[in-house]
């Protein structure tokens, strides 16, 4: 996949992520702060608005960390995933346990693969921070036959996958990125049972 063919998809995904993430937080913050300015529950609304602004800043920092992590030289998934986990854990204030199955000669990623793998990991961990009710996640990377298997799991509140609104970006963006690379996404979750995302991608 060339850089020129990747760019429109990447820009679309970035715009959708901003819409469903920081922009939503800032819109809600504005509502609370305007209510506080009008004298409605001043302190409580001011505090909630401030919390939402902080949340938006955290999400934007994590988004920037994803972009800055794009490698300028060839890299393998086994090198990229731990590096991204460390950066995102700091940006999102998450405890991320990362385990990579060691392989003798893991294949180098193309620039498109590295870009989308970084974004998949970032979007998955942001979803943990936003929705799970937990501050911890487990990441596992394995190589099976001719595939890379990336698993992101949490022990949070869980959800019913079939009831996720079709317009919500999080899982849709991860699914689209996997498909752009010839892979697929599997989601395992239930209320109170945590969530596991399994992203399968061609290894080359």
Angle at 12 between CA 10 and CA 14, to 5 degrees: 65
| pLDDT per position as a tens digit, 149-162 | 999 999 999 999 88
Residue 89 has a CB neighbour count (10 Å cut-off) of: 20
For the question of whether the overall pTM of this predicted structure is more than 0.85, the answer is: no
Asked whether the predicted pLDDT for residue 96 surpasses 80, the reply is yes
Residue 11: Cβ-neighbour burial (10 angstroms; 0-12, 13-18, 19+)? exposed
The mean pLDDT value for 5-9 works out to 54
pLDDT at position 3 is 44
Using alpha carbons, select from 112, 130, 111 the residue that is nearest to residue 58. Answer: 130
pLDDT at position 159 is 92
The mean pLDDT value for 125-133 works out to 88
Burial annotation 162-184 (CB, 10 A radius, 16+ → b, else e): eeeeeeebbbbbbbbbbebbebe
CATH 3.30.565.10 is right for the domain spanning 3-202: yes
Rounded CA gap, 21 and 127, in Å? 10
Burial annotation 15-38 (CB, 10 A radius, 16+ → b, else e): ebbeebbbebbbebbeebbebbee
| pLDDT per position as a tens digit, 173-196 | 888 888 888 899 999 999 999 999
φ, ψ for residue 109 (rounded to 5)?
-85, 145
Sorted by where each begins, the domain ranges of the chain are 3-202
Asked whether the predicted pLDDT for residue 117 surpasses 90, the reply is no
């Amino acid at each position: 996949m060339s850089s020129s063919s990747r760019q429109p998809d990447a820009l679309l995904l970035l715009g959708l992520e901003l819409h469903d993430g920081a922009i939503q937080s800032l819109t809600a913050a504005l509502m609370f702060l305007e209510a506080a300015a009008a004298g409605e529950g001043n302190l409580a609304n001011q505090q909630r608005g401030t919390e939402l602004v902080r949340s938006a800043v955290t999400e934007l920092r994590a988004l920037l960390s994803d972009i800055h992590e794009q490698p300028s030289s060839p890299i393998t998934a086994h090198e990229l995933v731990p590096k991204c986990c460390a950066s995102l854990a700091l940006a999102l204030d998450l405890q991320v346990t990362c385990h990579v199955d060691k392989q003798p000669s893991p294949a180098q990623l193309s620039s498109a693969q590295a870009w989308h793998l970084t974004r998949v990991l970032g979007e998955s961990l942001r979803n943990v921070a936003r929705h799970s009710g937990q501050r911890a996640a487990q990441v596992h990377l394995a190589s099976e036959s001719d595939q890379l298997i990336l698993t992101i799991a949490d022990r949070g509140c869980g959800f019913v996958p079939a009831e996720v609104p079709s317009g919500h970006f999080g899982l849709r963006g991860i699914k689209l990125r996997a498909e752009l690379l010839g892979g697929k996404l599997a989601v395992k979750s239930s209320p109170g049972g945590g969530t596991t995302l399994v992203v399968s991608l061609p290894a080359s």
